[in-house]
Structure 1
Amino acid sequence: MNNILKWLPLLLFSGLLLAQEDESNITENKPSWSDTAQQIIVNQTVADQAIQQRFANILKISARIQDPEVEVTEGVLVLNGWTDDAADKKWVEEAANRTEGVIAVVNNIEVRLGEQWDLDPAFKEAMTLYDQFIRALPKISIALMVLILTWVLAKITVALATRGLGRKVSNPFVLRMGARLLAVPVVVIGLYLVLKLTGLTNLALTVVGGTGILGLVIGIAFKDIAENFLASILISIQRPFRIGDYILVDGHEGVVQSVTTRGTVIMTLEGNHIHIPNAIIYKNTIVNVTANPNIRQKFTVGIGYDDSITNAQQIALAVLLNHEAILKEPEPQVLVDNLGAATVNIIVYFWVDGQKNSASKVKSAMIRLIKKAFDEAKILMPDEAREVVFPEGIRIIQDSAEDTVKEPVVKSSEPQDNAVEADLSNDVDEIRKQSAENQLSKADDNLIKDEKN
């Protein structure tokens, strides 16, 4: 029951359409009566038989009406037959009204609608298209030859442009793109000739005239893609970094793995791949850590006010100069920074070769060794002084002398070498190896070919 109710509106709608179609057919096939503008003359000048014979010949020659029948009685022309076009019925009626001696016209011609599944029109249209194709074969053959010639000329243009630009442009991506741009006019002219030969003149003019409009539309629709593409060109030309460099950009840091037309892939120290769009890289500040292998590190150490500042500086400087990981040029420095609440704060500056050693590991070793040297030299490194207020005072109980005797505190000796700091090599080297082994893009897609050694 529910299914019947569901389909009931559709059935009613279909019945309504059929009823309208039947009504239209009835209206079209209803006999029509029309009076002519001629006067009714008592003595006929043209015989009914002559009118009948002449109009029958007209219908036969025109072949607009099927099974035509013509009857004329006292100047009244009665038409019978059928046609599949209402315009033919109207034309016959108008012709009858213009016939001499016709007083009135009774049009009984039926308009029969064609069969619903009549494939004859489609077949005729297919045959027409086939004939047109056969006639157009010579033009199509010539257009195909022009298209092949255009492809060959474009290839030659790219080869010649590559050879000519190769002497001035070293970047492979810019060289390839420039050569292809020089071949664009050849392709456009070739397509214009092909469309002109095939008779598509309007389309040919559209191709030539609409090239600029098409470029504008594409530029608006693919703004971000175009922006990244242009940024990749500028990056490949300016070379702010190389493959294998350790960079910091837009809050990300890692080793540069590849640069494509869409973005730059870097591998972090955690081994993760980060794909950054080239537009973001080009707009943001780029910190190239490995562009200059020398990295400066610093840390602060506080000594007591009773200790000699000069002595502390000489001891710290000696530790720095005696360590093989510290560069002699630029030379390390030990400078007084400020006077704290309980300490004199000294800043230790030194330079490390970031290609060979890890700056953080060397810094850790220097802090440990300078502390060891200060301990051996009896240089105190007190904590910040704190003022404690006791509102009710402090009650002091004096103990006997025997109870106050305490054993001296023995400080643990700091070793010169540390197993943790035995390997001061840079962790970036390991990331470079992993980056080379886990490439996300093909070598041909990389816009920057040179690698960091």
Structure 2
Amino acid sequence: MHYPLIVFIITLLWLPSIHSQELVDPGAEIQVTDVPQDQAIESRLTDILDVIESYEDVEVQVSSGVVILSGSVPSARAGRDLVALASRVEGVIYVQNLLSEQMDISTRVQPTTQKIQEMFNSLIRSLPIVLVAILTIIVFWLIGQWAGNRGTWLHRLGFTELAADLGERIIRILIVGIGFLIALQILDATALVGALLGVAGVFGLAVGFAFRNIVENYLAGVLLSARNPFSIGDAIKIGEFTGNVVRLTSRDTVLMTGDGNHLRIPNSTMITSVMTNFSRNPLRRFEFNITISANVDLSTTRRLGLTILQQMPGLLAEPAPQVLIAELRENMVDLTFTAWINQHESDFAKARSEAIRLVKIGFDNAGINMSEPIQRVQLAEPIESVAKEEKAQPDLPQPTIQPAVTASSATVDIATDPTMTKQLAKEISTSKEENLLK
């Protein structure tokens, strides 16, 4: 038997337990050095509370590192702050909170009253600086008003009334803004400038979205007054609307329709829509169509119609009237008559109406009848019987074309109609609404 080997192994296994028992003793006392005494902790906390006015009614007791706080505090927040303060003192193991909250009204109001008093005293001390800042803003505001009212140089540069007004407002705002920034610099509130600029940017963005249509119409009014596509009294057409221009405002354009009603169209619509100005060119062409039978001599008919238009008073010889063959259909021919007038001397609607009347009279005198719709009815009969019936019908006489229109039928009245002009003049003279058109 290897007894020595077994004894050696048992000895090796037993030695660690002996050393472990020697190193760790559960009943050994924990030694701590340089620990503050309870009296020192209590004295330290008492000195701190004596400095803070809100904790004058608080009592502190310390026993074995445990701090006991009793008494009253102004608010629950003040109690929590005091507990946090006491737990930060060296040597404190635990803080027991026995504090009660004061419910006296005077105690609650006193801090607010003190803050108001401090703010008032601070305002009194800074009153001279505030007065200088206010005076700076007033001076720059007066300078802005003076500069804004001296916008005649903008007119000299070719700006329109609305564009010049917009430029004057921008100049006034810039000058007042500079004065405001200087006032903030005097008040040593430069940090407020960045905040105000940020708020102004957000506010401007919100206002831009909220008043997008108003801004669009205003800017469109500036462009319309600069481009000047129409004048007062011009007959224009915007989309499906037609009327005479009464005025241009910063928001919309006012038209007077043919029945005397006021039509307001937003400036943004005016500048983005297709517009026809009938009055910008004094010369204007009218046209109308007449359908005649295809059996009539077209050359003679065209000469007759051209002669009637050339002899009609009020129509211009240059550009000359024309009679054109527009379309050839079954047993019918469409003729187009065109002629030019001077809108300053002749009325467009009257001239067109009289031209149609005279051509109708001339064609009637010449035996040229207006074509009527023809419908063919085919009967189920032998071709021979139909041919016999056609031979039995006599030939229709050809119309005799007269060379001209009689003198009585040529009497026309195409003078300009002053009705709309009088209504426009009355509207402009009686209305106090702004008008950006000259």
Same fold (TM over 0.5): yes
Matches within 5 A, 1:242-321: 242-304=231-293, 307-321=296-310
DSSP 3-state at the match of 2:276? strand
Q: What letter is aligned with 2:127?
A: L
Shift of 1:210: 7.1
Query: 1:238 matched to which residue of 2?
Result: 227
CA shift, 1:350, in A, is 1.2
Deviates more, 1:58-67 or 1:358-367: 58-67
Instruction: Check whether the contact 1:79–1:107 (CA below 8 A) recurs between aligned residues.
Output: yes
Q: CA deviation at 1:215?
A: 5.3
The SS at the match of 1:166 is helix
Comparing 213-222 with 375-384, greater Cα deviation is found at 213-222
- What is the distance in 1 between the residues matched to 2:157 and 2:45? 88
Quote how far apart the aligned CAs of 1:72 are: 9.4
- Residue identity matched to 2:193: A
Write out aligned runs for 1:223-234 (5 A). 223-234=212-223
Q: Within the alignment, does 1:139 sit opposite 2:139 as a pair?
A: no
From 101, 119, 122, the equivalent of 1:112 is 101
Q: How far apart, in 1, do the equivalents of 2:68 and 2:364 lie?
A: 135
Q: Secondary structure at the match of 2:250?
A: coil
Q: Could you tell which deviates more after superposition, 384-393 or 198-207? A: 384-393
Counterpart secondary structure, 2:314 = coil
For residues 337 and 63 of structure 1, the distance between their equivalents in structure 2, rounded to whole angstroms, comes to 106
Deviation track 1:119-158 (CA, whole Å, cap 9, x = no partner) reads 3333223222211221221111101111111112212332
Is the contact made by 1:266 and 1:275 (CA closer than 8 Å) also made in structure 2? yes
The residue number in structure 1 matching 2:83 is 90
- In the alignment, residue 447 of structure 1 is paired with which amino acid? L
Secondary structure class of the residue paired with 2:126: helix
Cα distance in 2, alignment partners of residues 338 and 53 from structure 1 = 119
Distance of 2:291 and 2:81 partners within structure 1: 113
SS in 2 for 1:316: helix
Correspondent of 1:187 among 169, 176, 179: 176
**Structure-2 residue corresponding to 1:335:** 324
Distance 1:200 1:384 in 2: 89
- CA displacement 1:286-333 (0-9 Å, x = unmatched): 101111232212223344555444443343233223332323332212
The separation in 1 between residues aligned to 2:290 and 2:88, in whole angstroms, is 119
2:379 is the counterpart of 1:390:
yes
Q: How many residues align?
A: 383
Structure 2 matches for 1:214-225, cutoff 5 A? 218-220=207-209, 222-225=211-214
Partner deviation per Cα, 1:375-406 (whole Å, 9 max, x = no partner): 223334443544221225899xx9xxxxxxxx
Give the whole-Å Cα distance in 2 for the aligned partners of 1:77 and 1:334. 118
Q: CA offsets per residue over residues 224-243 of structure 1, 9 Å max, x none? A: 33332222222111111112
Partners of 2:226 and 2:264 in 1: CA distance: 20
Which string of whole-angstrom CA distances, capped at 9 and with x for unpartnered residues, describes residues 390-435 of structure 1?
225899xx9xxxxxxxxxxxxxx999469xx9764556x5345435
> Which consecutive residues of structure 2, in runs of 5 or more, have no partner in the other structure?
1-30, 390-404
Counterparts in 2 of 1:98 and 1:296: CA distance versus 1, 3 Å: same
- Structure 1 position 169, deviation (Å): 1.5
**For residues 125 and 204 of structure 2, what CA distance do their matches in structure 1 show?**
36
Letter in 2 for 1:284: S
Q: Which residue of 2 aligns with 1:157?
A: 147
Partner of 1:352: 341
TM-score, normalised relative to structure 2: 0.70
Residues 69 and 81, structure 1, Cα contact 8 Å, conserved in 2:
yes
Q: Flag the 1:89–1:137 CA change in 2: closer, same or farther, 3 A.
A: closer
- Ranges in structure 1 where 5+ consecutive residues have no aligned partner: 1-36, 40-45, 399-412
**What is the rounded CA distance, in whole Å, between the counterparts of 2:340 and 2:238 in structure 1?**
23
CA distance in 1, matches of 2:101, 2:249: 68
Given that 1:150 and 1:187 are in contact with CA atoms closer than 8 Å, whether structure 2 keeps it comes out as: yes
Seen in structure 2, the aligned counterparts of structure 1 residues 128 and 424 have a Cα distance that, compared at 3 Å, is farther
State the alpha-carbon separation in 2 of the partners of residues 304 and 92 from structure 1: 114
In structure 2, relative to structure 1, the CA distance for the partners of 1:115 and 1:202 (3 Å cut) is: same
Read off the aligned partner of 2:121 and give its amino acid letter: D
Deviation at 1:278, TM superposition (A): 1.7
Number of the residue aligned with 1:125 = 115
